[in-house]
Structure 1
Amino acid sequence: MIKQPIKRSALNFNLIENGASMIEQNGWSLASSFGDIEAEVNSSKNSVAITDISNLSKFKIYSPKIDEVLLNTGGNLRISEVRKEHFMKNSMRHSHTTARLSINELWVSSNTNNSFQEIKATYIENDKNVELFEMTSAYTGIRILGPDAPLLLSEFTDINIGLNTFKDLTSAQSMFLQVYGLLIRADLSSLPTYDLFIDRSYGLYVWKAIMSLGARYNAKLVGMECINQLESNP
């Protein structure tokens, strides 16, 4: 059996340069931690943390009947609204995040390793008018979370990021550091949490710029062990 090559995000070598301990999971090279998991969790809870989420599976779904599609799969969404679904699989907690981008377009991100088949079964199994596009390799994903995350985000976007304006389970498409991207707010453990997706070719530039701006807020890079702890201990 031929082993599949390990997938690496556009940020992979920068993560290593910044001290990440890398592990392989579901075919991806991922940052497990940056040396002090307790400090990473504390930063997430008390200031702001930044992590690479490029490994999330990402899809765009198009249909002229998107309202019907949504109603058949958990309830309708207005444009910019988001829903997040959690489920257990093989004793692990998984999630799908769905954002409505336009009248006929959805964005779905997922942390399961069989996402394509699951999303296909959910959205297009019995509907010939739905098109599914796998976008994982095309986008870099950056998560910014913590009490000071809105302050950091306000440094590089014109979106009103106020906690009572850009609320939990909301999305927006806009410019970030002069790069077009999608921002989804889906709070983790009651912490303001923002997932930013931009074209992979600009991923490293945006990542470095966010790190530089984050220094003003004592931002800390965190790995998947920190995120797993936050998810399991809200």
Structure 2
Amino acid sequence: MKKRAYAIIYSALSIMLGGIGIQKFYLGQTKRGILHVLFFWTFIPTIICVIDLLKFTFMTEEEFDEKYNKIELTNNFSNNKKESNIIKQSLKYNKLINTISMKIKDNKLKENIKELNELYKNIIDISAKDTSDNKIAIKELEKLLEYNIPTIVKIINTYIDLEKSKIEQDNTKLKNDIMDSIIAIKEKLKTILDTIYNNNIIDISSDIEVIKSTSKR
């Protein structure tokens, strides 16, 4: 998935290197990137790079995703709007979890949330690919969106509120329960990924057996 921050960095680098259009290649606009390289000596590409830098700087993450990640996310699901919406919603939660977890001071909890979110992103990535695994991944994402993922966001915010709270009381048990919940969901995501990978192995094994049987005829 393309990142707005990288687009900003590549635009700035492109300006410093004479407008060679690195950001165009990053965005998948190969033809435009080649034109930048061919005509960098005219300084027109440099001006375009400046415009791109300003555009990416003031563009929100949502606007960037909508414009530059939309094709990537919906190409495989052009005939299935529901699947596309599931992926988009999952990506929003993935980004939200990453953002709010930055506010947590407890490094152990923050690390567990990071691992959880990486596992979650792996499932999203699989669901966005046109492979035999994506149907399973989509179904699992849909289930996760019904309860687990929104709940994770809720309990992370609860933990942040507890850390900010000035009320003199022992919140240790509640904090431990939150940690246990994060770890439990993390293990659930690992199980989901194992199921997806095992299904892929079974499919490959079946294909191999078919090839072997047909080759003997």
**Normalised TM-score (structure 1):** 0.24
More helix by share: 2
Larger Rg: 2
Query: Structure with the greater relative contact order (CA < 8 A, sep ≥ 6): 1 or 2?
Result: 1
